[in-house]
Amino acid sequence: MPRQTITTANAPSSPLSGAMKCAYLASGYELAFDGPAGRNLLEIQWNILPKFYAVDLDCGEFFERSVMVTVGGRRVRSLSAEDLLLALCVHAAKHAWIRLCWLRDIAGVLQSQTLDWSLVEQRSSKLGIGRMVAISLLLANRLLGASIPDFVTALGRADHGAARISEQIVRDLPAAEEYDSESLRYFRLMLGLRERARDKLRFLFRLAFTPSIGEWAVVRLPAGLFPLYRIIRLFRLVGRLSRSRA
């Protein structure tokens, strides 16, 4: 019998210094590791979205509400049905619903899980992601025939922003390509997905002043000057947006 080789992921894709690690843990959401077989063999995630999206999901609450499920004959913890649906909706929204597989995941939850829709509505309202959830469900219904509650259909009719974006996604999906997540077009879409003015403002503020690996790569500052990366972030963002409008 041939000997099996176990491939391990042992090196971060983007090595970070001590101060950068602390900042990235606070503002990011995943860390990818490379190995002999290639890049991004393992992704360790501690949140659903980066901080600048201004969707403050509480992973501690996710664990408190988690349930036991069987996967491959083993009992493991998983998100509750309601939390799973919300996580899938915001993930699909982050990627502008460009892949049908993400909507298929949402349709699968609708089909296989018993959902407490009052909890879905309550949590999405608290987080300010009602429009993201409504668009995701409307698309799953229209494109995959998933059954959705009547109040979601009514919300889609009443929320002109949700209806407009849904139609745009349906038109663009056949030829959809990955968005440039640093482009003005992408930022406008993400801004349009928020229904509350305060969430739009939080998104814009965090977008402008939350440094990332890109800023840290431009110039290396000592830990004592780390707050200056916020200014570097703002100038780099303004420059990119200016070029995208040119």
pLDDT tens digits for the chain (246 residues)?
444 444 555 655 666 777 888 888 888 888 888 777 777 778 888 899 999 899 999 999 999 999 999 988 999 999 999 999 999 999 999 999 999 999 999 999 999 999 999 999 999 999 999 999 999 999 999 999 999 999 898 888 889 899 999 999 999 888 878 888 878 889 999 999 999 999 999 999 999 998 888 888 888 888 888 889 999 999 888 887 777 665
Q: What is the C-alpha to C-alpha distance for residues 150 and 161, in angstroms, rounded to an integer? A: 18
Q: What is the C-alpha to C-alpha distance for residues 66 and 76, in angstroms, rounded to an integer? A: 10
For the chain, how far is it from start to end, CA to CA, in angstroms?
A: 62
Q: What is the C-alpha to C-alpha distance for residues 95 and 132, in angstroms, rounded to an integer? A: 11
Residue 13 lies in a domain: no
Q: Looking at the 3D structure of the chain, how many domains does it have?
A: 1
Quote the domain boundaries for residue 75: 57-178
Residue 230 lies in a domain: no
Cβ(44)–Cβ(51) under 8 Å? no
Cβ(168)–Cβ(98) under 8 Å? no
Residue 227 lies in a domain: no
- The pLDDT value recorded for residue 109 is 97
Residue 88 lies in a domain: yes
Residue 68 lies in a domain: yes
Region class of 16: left (phi > 0), else alpha (psi between -120 and 50), else beta: beta
Residue 111 lies in a domain: yes
Residue 71 lies in a domain: yes
- The phi and psi torsions of 182 (rounded to 5 degrees) equal -110, 15
Give strand pairing partners of 136: none
Cβ(30)–Cβ(50) under 8 Å? no
- The pLDDT value recorded for residue 4 is 45
Contacts with 103 (C-beta within 8 Å, 6 or more apart), sequence order: 92, 97, 136, 139, 140, 143, 144
Residue of 50, 111, 120 whose CA lies nearest to 80: 120
H runs (alpha helix) in 65-196: 81-94, 100-112, 117-127, 130-144, 150-158, 160-172, 184-192
Question: What number of residues does the chain have?
Answer: 246
Q: What is the C-alpha to C-alpha distance for residues 137 and 223, in angstroms, rounded to an integer? A: 45
Give the torsion through C-alpha atoms of 183, 96, 164, 206, to 10 deg: -50
Residue 223 lies in a domain: no
Chain CA centroid to CA 217, Å: 23
Q: What is the C-alpha to C-alpha distance for residues 136 and 91, in angstroms, rounded to an integer? A: 10
Cβ(91)–Cβ(102) under 8 Å? yes
